[in-house]
Structure 1
């Protein structure tokens, strides 16, 4: 045997052994699935609330208490604090941003025939709750003659603006007094100070207003222990939310949760495997019309035909259901 042939044989043996020891594509896929399964256990094994219980307050559109249980220990505080901060700071709403009062040059003056000074009037204007049905700056006008209070319902608006607290008092007018105010409002989020609403080209007498856009007025939460099965140290989260009526408390919490979900998505550096549903394929059996033929149509002997008739075998379909042993007894 030559040295060349010996070398080729050794190379072939090493190649076969390496192929045998190297992981196949199937092995790699199995390992990958095992890793994914271990990853999923990080969040799939955690207990989650069965449902969100909503308990409405005196006005369902403004006040509600939401209860989520059971939660893993520590998650009540984590979720409650995160939702509260987002509810108060990150939801969009509408608010007045400027006001112009006829005969008034600045916020430190007074209005003839009006009990409140301009500073108090501006504070009352800030509390007017609005819902805007489209984006952009909206203009509104209030014209009122005394005596009596000027309320939010006296503000003239377009169909794109809705006053949510029409009975809110803006100012009180004396006998023979009158007032005319023009407002601008827009959509935003959080709190915007009056200085940011001031523009360089603003006309004299235009007073900027602190804008509190958040539709959520109050949020409080508490965490208590709750029971799930035999385990007593799970968390129960109770959220109490009050809004201005432009959004319901339940919808406000849903929006806050969606904002958190969107902000946290950037931290997820893997893709979740798609759920594969294995469907069993049931092949359809073709129907044979010959099974409905009568045995009388077969060319059988008289004795065979009588045996089948005595055993109530009328169709070929009846015949093929019989076993060989049953036929021998016929």
Structure 2
């Protein structure tokens, strides 16, 4: 007799949800599922959500980070560290990157809010972040590149050979999640209810580019997509198809190797046959299979005995005359 597994449908209650902080309760859960679900959601939140960050900066007349800029209190290294802290939100759907050109003339404290005047498709949310202090009215021209990504990427991985000289690459923090905490408690017992259930409490802190509730739902969808793929019939069929492809691929590689092989490497072919083929500039099996029997027989000194010898060897190798070369 097949045993049915009955799952008590849990529900989610939003205790608190702002742009930066969210608290959620999920219940009822079977004993043990609080840790399973809580840990899975936490790991996905911290590692798999995408975000936006600056990947490099280019400052006019500055070629490396160990420099100073006239009229700027901070050196370039400090400025880079401040740019690394910028948190960016996408404002136009479908746009994943933007090269921003900025020019600042005024003196005083320059905050990240100033950069929003030059950005088209994105918005800096931590506007009060101090980037540098300027003590003159001399114009500073610079550009920076905003790009979509996931997790934490070191500056070295952004470098590409085609990038222009003068780009100063920075470490990029793409993940919009700052912290995730969860704990398991026993579910509040209702009247006439057994107490074999628990509740999961999740606290999520974001950088303000995504609200915690949306982040929670995104992480659940990622988990659901993975699990659905594993159990779906479509994925099973795809797996079988891939196995068949591997078998075909192995056969292709084997034939490819044979066709590249020199005829002279085969001991079963007589010297007379090999000399006739070589005289007609046929040195490999790949060159031979392009011909038909009549063409081979018309070669000088090539007889039926040699043809029989060739056909026997070709049969053993699963190749034939006028055979199509595999792509």
Cα offsets for 1:134-176 (capped at 9, x unmatched):
3343011332235311111211434322222222211111244
Q: How far apart, CA to CA, are the structure 1 residues paired with 2:225 and 2:232?
A: 14
Tell whether the 8 Å contact from 2:64 to 2:166 is kept in structure 1 after alignment: yes
Matching residue within 141, 149, 153 for 2:109:
149
- CA RMSD after TM alignment: 2.2
Q: How far apart, CA to CA, are the structure 1 residues paired with 2:14 and 2:52?
A: 26
Matching residue within 78, 83, 102 for 1:120:
78
Q: TM-score if structure 2 supplies the norm length?
A: 0.64
Cα 1:146/1:159, change in 2 over 3 Å:
closer
Choose 157-166 or 246-255, whichever is displaced more: 157-166
Tell whether the 8 Å contact from 1:66 to 1:238 is kept in structure 2 after alignment: yes
4+ residue stretches of structure 1 with deviation over 4 A? none
**Residues 40-51 of structure 1 aligned to structure 2 (within 5 Å):** 41-42=4-5, 45-49=6-10, 51=11
Indicate yes or no: 2:47 matched with 1:89.
yes
Indicate yes or no: 2:139 matched with 1:181.
no
Tell whether the 8 Å contact from 1:103 to 1:111 is kept in structure 2 after alignment: no
Tell whether the 8 Å contact from 1:135 to 1:186 is kept in structure 2 after alignment: no
Tell whether the 8 Å contact from 1:114 to 1:173 is kept in structure 2 after alignment: yes
3-state DSSP class of the match of 1:100?
strand
Indicate yes or no: 2:239 matched with 1:239.
no
Q: How far apart, CA to CA, are the structure 1 residues paired with 2:38 and 2:231?
A: 22
Matching residue within 123, 128, 134 for 1:167:
128
1:97 CA displacement = 0.9
Corresponding position of 2:239 = none
3-state DSSP class of the match of 1:227?
coil
Tell whether the 8 Å contact from 1:227 to 1:233 is kept in structure 2 after alignment: no
3-state DSSP class of the match of 1:231?
coil
Indicate yes or no: 2:197 matched with 1:257.
no
1:177 CA displacement = 5.2
Q: How far apart, CA to CA, are the structure 2 residues paired with 1:146 and 1:135?
A: 31
1:88 CA displacement = 1.2
Q: TM-score if structure 1 supplies the norm length?
A: 0.64
1:87 CA displacement = 0.8
Cα 1:108/1:232, change in 2 over 3 Å:
farther
Q: How far apart, CA to CA, are the structure 1 residues paired with 2:196 and 2:69?
A: 61
Q: How far apart, CA to CA, are the structure 1 residues paired with 2:212 and 2:96?
A: 25
1:202 CA displacement = 2.3
5+ unaligned residues in a row in structure 2: which ranges?
A: 235-327
3-state DSSP class of the match of 1:180?
strand
Tell whether the 8 Å contact from 2:112 to 2:129 is kept in structure 1 after alignment: yes
Q: How far apart, CA to CA, are the structure 1 residues paired with 2:232 and 2:144?
A: 48
Tell whether the 8 Å contact from 1:52 to 1:66 is kept in structure 2 after alignment: yes
3-state DSSP class of the match of 2:43?
helix
Corresponding position of 1:191 = 152
Corresponding position of 2:95 = 135
Matching residue within 5, 8, 12 for 1:52:
12
5+ unaligned residues in a row in structure 1: which ranges?
A: 1-33, 272-330
Aligned positions, number: 229
Q: How far apart, CA to CA, are the structure 1 residues paired with 2:172 and 2:134?
A: 25
- Structure number with greater Rg is 1
Cα 1:224/1:103, change in 2 over 3 Å:
same
3-state DSSP class of the match of 1:232?
coil
Indicate yes or no: 2:33 matched with 1:75.
yes
1:206 CA displacement = 0.5
